Structure formats: structure tokens, C-alpha cells
Amino acid sequence: MQLDLKTIEALAPDQASLGAAAKLTKRSNWPRLETNEQLGLIWGECQGSGSNPYRVAFDTRDHGYKCTCPSRKFPCKHILGLMWIGATAPASFARVDQTPEWVNDWLGRRRKPGQQPTQAPASSEGKSIDEASRPDESAPVEDAAAAERREAAQRRRAEDTRSAVSAALDELDQWIADQLRLGLAGFVDACSERCRRIAARLVDLKATALAGRIDELPARLMALRGEERPDAAIRELGKLVLLAKAWRAAPDDAELKRLVSTSETRDQILANPDAVHVESDWEVLGEKIVTRRDGLVSHATWLLDLKSSAPRFAVLLDFFPASAGKRSGAFAPGDRFKARLVFYPSRNPLRALVAERLGDAAPGNWSDFARAGDPLAAYASFQDGAPWLTDCPIILPAGAIALDEKDGAWWQAASDPHGIALPVAGSVSQTLLGLDLAATAALWNGARLELLASQSNMGRLDLS
């Protein structure tokens, strides 16, 4: 590995990036650090502010790099941090002969060194790695009066936000009443425009998360058949009524604040004593990547706890601007790993962060928790706790996929082929119609199943 600090200094886009990179040189930030010396590659996974770790790779031969973070600085602090560790503590990298698939993908796509556009040689001017290494001493020591002023300002801002959100929910209530008065048939026809308008108002009044949900409502309605849309509109609007009422009853409730205005930061969750920590083996069931109307891409990675006797799920949720381009996740469907997850406090804890990666988990089958019975019992219980939520992960018992007269796909229970059947979102592979599914993980939203993964007579199936 041929890396020196001068190179890092020269490549860094600015002094701030160097300072941020210096904070990432702690080994604890990097659950995985590996090198293939023959190819001159170093790579690792860095736990950033997202719920997924970022995947970072650097080619020491031509200084090519790749990071999955959404930063617009090139190279980002994670690349610089990786290089920094490579220069100062090369022994931290485990030597391996095989490069992981995501590194291979990157190598296969990147431009060869000879074809790179000529760039001005990077300069170290205005950047100092020594300065970045020094502890930050410039932060003024806060006196008691200043701290009190800051806290008072925070309280004022929180109060302002609460008032604004309360006003937002009043507007939402009025808007819902208007839709009922004008007719849901008209609402369904014009939902895109109507939802956009109220969502914009909610953003103005700081109910950002709720605005995002309403912005996505037309897409959820349009995914259904025409005759199903009025019922779906009743469900969606009714849930909004329930959420608004729940927030008014408990505006400081963390889960409700998350759903209505803003979410906690990663550090706040890690420091929250109410957050549940679960150390277990996890399997990546699948991913759901949606480009939202507000220009953000939501990337949900659904996990299954492999050690739990009852189905326990987690979702790692990240958002990044669509303009940042396609971004690969830290995990691929089917991956298994040991980790300590910390769940966002909630009535049905689902959203989580990877607090600590503890290595890979052995392949195998899921626990035998997919028994015959009501496949939606878990959904009913989920709704009892938080009726304003939409997508609920469930494990379906043995079944198969069948087609109706319009070629719509349905999951049908093997034990009761003429009884329980649930419609599947979108189209399915023809091959899937010939496979016996021993157990299926899916998201149920009250109208459609979104298949994530199955255990079948032909092994594990990626369905997301």
C-alpha cells in the first residue's frame, strides 16, 4: 500500500473535509477494513450518518475512489478517512485475496486510468493535514448564561414548530373534510394536483414528514385498479385523520413527531435510553427504492432477525437526493450478517440503525415460524398499536402464486387454496408461478402484498 499523508492533503477538496476525515480515523467507525495488495485496493464500510454503513473503496495505484455516501464533495470525508487509515495504520486492513462483489462492480464500471480526463494536478495549497489532526480548540467554552440562552432559544424554536405543525394539521383536517364534501371520485381523478397543494402547505408549516407521505399518496392510489381506488382513498385519508389526532394528543411522542415533522438524528437515537438494542443475526430480505415527488430517493432495506422465534423485522431507511444518481446500498438481498441494531422508539419498532457490525452470519433457512393460520394476524396486531401506519412486514405460510382472469397475481395459501388469498403488487416472474413457496416475507399495505423474499423448493428467492 503506497499512501502518504501528502497525497491525502493534495486530494482533499478543502480543509473542512480533512477535518471531518480526521474524525473518521477511529477504528470503531469502520466495521470492515480490507485490502487486496495484489490489486492495490483498499476498501471498507464506514458507519456514517445514514442507517446503512457507507461502502468506500480506493485504488492506491491510480487514486481512483468510490463511496456510497450522498456527499457532493469529491473525494468525500469517508474516502479521505479510509486513505488516512491506510497511510497511518495499514495493519488495520485485513488482507484478502478476493474482492467483494460491490468492489468488482465498481472496478468493472470505472474509467481506466489512461482514459481519465486530464485534471489539473491537485494542490495542497490552503489545506493542512497537521491542522486537521489537531483537536478542535477553537470552539469557545460556553458559560452558564450562554447555555441557558441557547436552551431557551431551542425551547422557543420547539414551541414555534409545535404551533406551526398544529396549524398544519388544522389545514389538513379542513382539506380532508373538503375532499369528502367534494367526493372521492373527483379526489381520485385529481389527487396528484390536490395532494401537491396541501403537501406544499404542510412543508411551509413544518409538517415535512407528513407532507412527504401525502405527496406519495397519488402513486399508491394509482398502483391499484380503478374500482379499488375509492376504498384506498378512504383508508389513506382515514389514517391521516388518526395520525393528526394522535399527534394532538401527544405532540412530544417521538414516533408521532417522526411521522409528522422531522426525524431524530443518528446520534440522538444512539444516545436515547428508550431505544431498543437487538444483537442478532440478520438476513437482508430485500430493498425498496422509491424516487419521491419531492426529489428524494428513499432507500429501505428490510431485514429479518434470524435468531428470533417469532418474526422480527427491521428496516434501515435512508434518504438521498435523486440528483446524486444511482447509489448502491451497503447490503445485497440475501446477505446475512451479525450486528447490533438500535431501533427508533416506536409502538411497533421497525426502523433501525446498524450500531455495530459484528461479522458475517452463516447461510441457512429461516426459523420455522411460518405456520398455517391467518397470515394477516400480525398486520391486525400492528394496526392495533399504530393504526396510522401503512406498510407492515409479515411472514406468510406455505403457499404459491396464482393468476386471476386479468393476469393479476395473488399469493394463495397452500393449506387452504380456496380460502386465503392476497393480491400481489405489480407483475411477477412467470417462473415464480411454478414454485412452491415454503415461507414468504412481504409487506402488506391493506391492499397489496409487496414480495420481498421466499424460501422455496428451489432455495431462497429474491423477490424485491
Partner 1 sequence: MNELEQAGLARLRDGWTSGGAMFEFAPVSWKEAATASSPDEQERRLLAIAAQALDVALRPAAPKTLKRRPPLPVLALPMLPDRLRPALRAALKFAADARLKTRVAALVASRGFVLHPMDWTPAASSQESPEVYAPWVDWQAGADDEKQSRREHLTAETWDDFYPAARRSALVDLRRTMPALARTLIETKGASEPAEVRLALIELMRFGLNADDVPFLKSLSTDRSGKVREMAGRLLARLGEHANPTDGGSEDPTAELAAFIEEGKSGFIRRRTTYAATKLKSPAQQARRADLFASCYFRDLASHFGKTESDFIGAWQFGVDDNADLFLVRMVSVSGSDAAVACLADMLVAAGGRLVLLTLQLMLRLDSGRKRVLVRQILNDAQNLAALNLVDGAEAGWLEWGDLANGKTLSALRSAVSGDNDVTKRSAEQYLEAIGFLANPVTAEKLIGEVVAAGLPPASPSLGLLRLNAALAENPSQTDR
Q: Give residues 373-412 in contact with partner 1 (rule: CB under 8 A).
A: 376, 379-380, 383, 387, 400-405, 410, 412
Nearer CB in complex with partner 1: 132/240? 240
Residues in contact with 233: Cβ distance below 8 Å, sequence separation at least 6, in sequence order:
179, 184, 187, 188, 191, 221
Q: Cβ(442)–Cβ(451) under 8 Å?
A: yes
- In the window 193-222, what residues touch partner 1 (CB under 8 A)? none
Nine-digit cell string for 68: 456510497
Q: How far apart are CA 124 and CA 8, in angstroms?
A: 9
Q: How far is the CB of 312 from partner 1 (least distance, A)?
A: 22
Q: Which is nearer to partner 1, 8 or 165 (CB)?
A: 165
Contact with partner 1 (CB under 8 A) among 364, 373, 417, 426: 417
Distance CA 30, CA 26 (A): 8
Nearer to partner 1, 103 or 211 (CB): 103
For partner 1, which is the closer residue by CB, 121 or 419?
419
The Cβ-side half-sphere exposure at 6, using a 13 Å CA radius, reads 1
Contact set for partner 1, span 144-183 (CB under 8 A): 173-174, 176-177, 180-183
Alpha helix positions (H), 358-435? 377-385
Bond prior to 375 in cis (omega within 30° of 0): no
Minimum Å gap between C-beta 194 and partner 1 is 14
Of residues 186 and 359, the one with the C-beta less far from partner 1 = 186
Stretch in the footprint of partner 1 (CB under 8 A) among 124-132, 273-281, 298-306, 425-433: 425-433
SS3 401: strand
What does 33-101 look like in DSSP terms, one character per residue? EEEETTTTEEEEEE--SSSSPEEEEEETTTTEEEE-S--SSSS-HHHHHHHHHHHH-GGGSEE-SSPPH
Which three three-digit cell numbers place residue 229?
381506488
- The number of residues that bind partner 1 (CB under 8 A) is 71
Of 137 and 405, CB closest to partner 1? 405
Query: What is the distance, to the nearest Å, from the Cα of residue 439 to the centroid of all Cα atoms in its chain?
Result: 24
136: Cβ–Cβ under 8 A, 6 or more apart, which residues? 19
Site residues (CB under 8 A) for partner 1, limited to 220-259: 230-231, 234-239, 241-242, 245
**Is residue 190 part of the contact set for partner 1 (CB under 8 A)?**
no
Using the rule CB under 8 A, is 62 a contact of partner 1?
no
25 vs 456, beta carbon nearer partner 1:
456
Among 401, 400, 433, 454, smallest CA distance to 285 is for 454
CB of 145 to partner 1, least distance (A): 46
The residue written with cell numbers 421466499 in the block is 454
Residues 102-121 that bind partner 1 (CB under 8 A): 103-108, 110, 112, 114
Q: How far is the CB of 173 from partner 1 (least distance, A)?
A: 6
Residue 399 exposed, middle or buried by CB count within 10 Å (0-12, 13-18, 19+): buried
Considering only residues 434-453, where is the footprint of partner 1 by CB under 8 A? Answer: 434-436, 446-447
Under rule CB under 8 A, which residues in 65-84 are in contact with partner 1? none
Residue number with CB closer to partner 1 (276 or 433): 433
User: In the complex, what is the shortest distance from the CB of residue 130 to partner 1, in angstroms, rounded to a whole number?
Assistant: 36
Nearer CB in complex with partner 1: 314/424: 424
Choice between 303 and 428, CB closer to partner 1: 428
**Min. distance of Cβ 299 from partner 1 in angstroms?**
21
Torsion of CA 11, 15, 18, 20, to 10 degrees: -140
Tell the smallest beta-carbon distance from residue 401 to partner 1 (Å): 8
Residue 39 in the binding site for partner 1 (CB under 8 A) = yes
For cell 417522526, the residue is 258
In the complex, the smallest distance separating the C-beta of residue 177 from partner 1, rounded to whole angstroms, is 4
Residues between 313 and 342 with contacts to partner 1, criterion CB under 8 A:
none
Nearer to partner 1, 343 or 366 (CB): 366
Q: Which run of H or E residues covers position 397? A: none
Strand, helix or coil for residue 361: coil
